[in-house]
Amino acid sequence: MAVLTPSKIDAYALAPEKKLTLYMLMLGFAALLVGTLFGPLQAFNYAGINLYTFLKPLVQSYYQGLTIHGVLNAIVFTQLFGQAVMLYLPSRELGLRPNMTLAWVSWWMALVGLLITALPILANAASVLYTFYPPLQAHWAFYVGAAIFVLSSWVTVYLTLEMWMRWKRRNPGQITPLATYMAVTFWLMWWLCSLGLVVEVAVFLIPWSTGLIGGVDPLLMRTLFWFTGHPIVYFWLLPVYTLAYTTLPRLAGGKLISDPLARLVFLLFLLFSIPVGFHHQFSDPGIAPAWKFIHMVLTMMVAVPSLITAFTLAASLENAGRARGGQGWFGWIKALPWNNPTVLSFLLGLLAFIPGGAGGMVNASFTLNQGIHNTTWIPGHFHLQVATLVTMGAMGTAFWLIPHLTGKRLVGEGYAVASQWLWFLGMFIMTFALHWMGWLYQIPRRAFISGSPAAMEAYKQSGVWMALNAISGIILTIAIIFFFYVIFATALQSRHEPSQVMAEVPFTQVISGPQGSGLAALTERVWFWFGVAVVLVVLAYGPVLFQMLTHLNPVPGQRLW
């Protein structure tokens, strides 16, 4: 009779969650693989080189390629990574299993939604970029697929909340463990903010693209889009913050300095992520300056939790560096385990996030925004945020999570380390050049440069910065090849490693815990704070939306490609 060793018991007992998490993660990384391979084409475009000619008839235009790049990387990969870790972490922390039938429903919805969206994009019937601003009109399948894809995340919202409430019933009066607290506030924030996108797509864009209604109001559509579109950046960021708080200190050899402060950060994101969307619409006519001013002030508020994060993580990393023998003012930085690919990816990603965050404050300042809006500064900004910190945090996490989920050893650690240095270097060069070109030369974003002689003349003045884009494109391509080699070689090998099968989630210990903390008790009143968040959203958006809905200016759809 076969004897079940502890490793086998653990593998069997946890197999369902691990399999689901692995499938979510791998679907996300598959999207990232295709999406990032289109990145260098954009980088080369900014260098005046049109590589799209070689992709015809598969990909018809720069705009079709940019749609594939934006949708797969910014919408698909990020959501799937969030669905993978923000259900798995609380499930392991609480020792509870989510409803697995529904969990698989969410995976299938994501896959089917993705395929339905992909078809019109690949057929060049939806080259509307990831913001799909009307009057640009895509084939109806693009909106239907996107809706199914996004609604898949609502299933994960339900699964996480149900698991948490089950735990609350069994542990009355107890403070929710940290990773679960983060997941709960994260999913509540996402559910509330995704209403804008869901209404835009389900109520307006699907009927419009199927011909049921003749027109939609571009300003209202943009407003509903940015209602979701700003907080969506925290939907991308917060899974990585959660991992940075709950695993990075331990992986770096130390402890998290404050658990209550970490809770406060997530609560502030729940409160202030949403009522700020007009900072994307400072240049839009039809919104009174007073409302733009209110959203600007609230945007400054939403930087606060990131500033607290900078402090808490730096202090926790210092704790780790000193525990490893680092001395003096900066010796602790050197003492951190830079050779650990996960720690490395977080350190480099967080370093990039400092100028990225500072650039965010420039964007958020009404007057400064006039200088950089719709220039290459903007892709410069968000490639530091989502393409560096968020993507590197996900890559770095994959280096322990895929071995943990599959019970297999990480293959090619040297390639893993190299991929992160190269990614950081490539993104650093590219974002530096994009910021420079945007701010000083006013080079427009989303412009097809390499095909037009007139545009090329204008671009030539930014000389060396253009060339840097092409160089960064090459570096990033090498980085992504190294990364995917490690991921696929790890996941596809046949050998299992017993120690990996048993490996735990590396949850960190804390120096200052939640017990007896007034702050932790205050943040624990999640439903009360959710109510406050709803009130803030209604106050910041209600009157403007009411005015827009009562003064509709519908226009028919257009195809400019």
Interaction mask 213-242, ligand HAS, x per CB under 6 A: --------------------x--xx-----
- Stretch touching Cu ion by CB under 5 A, among 29-37, 225-233, 333-341, 470-478: 225-233
CA-to-CA distance for 454 and 446, rounded, in angstroms?
Answer: 16
Backbone angles phi, psi at 126, to 5 degrees: -150, 45
Helix (H, G, I), strand (E, B) or coil at 558: strand
Q: CB under 5 to 8 A by kind: which of Cu ion, ligand HAS, none does 309 bind?
A: ligand HAS
Kindly write down the DSSP assignment for every residue of 362-423, as one continuous string. Answer: HHHSHHHHHHHTTBTHHHHHHHHIIIIIIHHHHHHHHHHHHHHHHT-PPP-HHHHHHHHHHH
CA 425 to chain centre: 20
Helix (H, G, I), strand (E, B) or coil at 258: strand
Q: What is the number of other CB atoms lying within 10 angstroms of the CB of residue 233? A: 18
Cβ distance to Cu ion smaller for residue 232 or 257: 232
Catalytic hit among 250, 322, 324, 446: 446
Alpha-helical regions (H) of 123-247: 140-170, 178-199, 206-209, 218-229, 231-246
For tokens 């704070």, what's the residue? 529
Catalytic hit among 381, 415, 435, 482: 381
Q: CB under 5 to 8 A by kind: which of ligand HAS, Cu ion, none does 350 bind?
A: ligand HAS
Out of 92, 230, 292, 435, name the contact with Cu ion by CB under 5 A: 230
- Burial level of 414, CB count in 10 A (0-12/13-18/19+)? exposed
Q: CB under 5 to 8 A by kind: which of Cu ion, ligand HAS, none does 381 bind?
A: ligand HAS
Residue with smallest beta-carbon separation from ligand HAS: 357
Cβ distance to ligand HAS smaller for residue 120 or 349: 349
CA-to-CA distance for 315 and 317, rounded, in angstroms?
Answer: 5
Interaction mask 322-351, ligand HAS, x per CB under 6 A: -----------x-------------x--xx
Residue 230 annotated among the catalytic residues of the structure: yes
For tokens 């090619």, what's the residue? 412
Cβ distance to ligand HAS smaller for residue 164 or 541: 541
Out of 160, 369, 500, 517, name the contact with ligand HAS by CB under 6 A: 369
189 scored as a contact of ligand HAS (CB under 6 A): no
Task: Judge whether 229 and 277 are in contact, CB under 8 Å.
Answer: yes
What is residue 507's DSSP assignment?
A: P
Give the tokens for residue 240: 């990585």
Q: In whole angstroms, how close is the CB of 151 to Cu ion at the nearest point?
A: 23
Residue 559 annotated among the catalytic residues of the structure: no
Interaction mask 303-322, ligand HAS, x per CB under 6 A: x--xx-xx--xx--x-----
Q: In whole angstroms, how close is the CB of 279 to Cu ion at the nearest point?
A: 5
Cβ distance to ligand HAS smaller for residue 9 or 307: 307
Out of 360, 396, 403, 426, name the contact with ligand HAS by CB under 6 A: 360
Q: Which of 422, 443, 327, 318 is nearest to 375 (CA)?
A: 443
Binding site for ligand HAS (CB under 6 A): 131, 233, 236-237, 279-280, 299, 302-303, 306-307, 309-310, 313-314, 317, 333, 347, 350-351, 353-354, 357, 360-361, 363-364, 369, 373, 378, 381-382, 385-386, 390
Please identify every residue annotated as catalytic: 230, 234, 381-383, 445-446
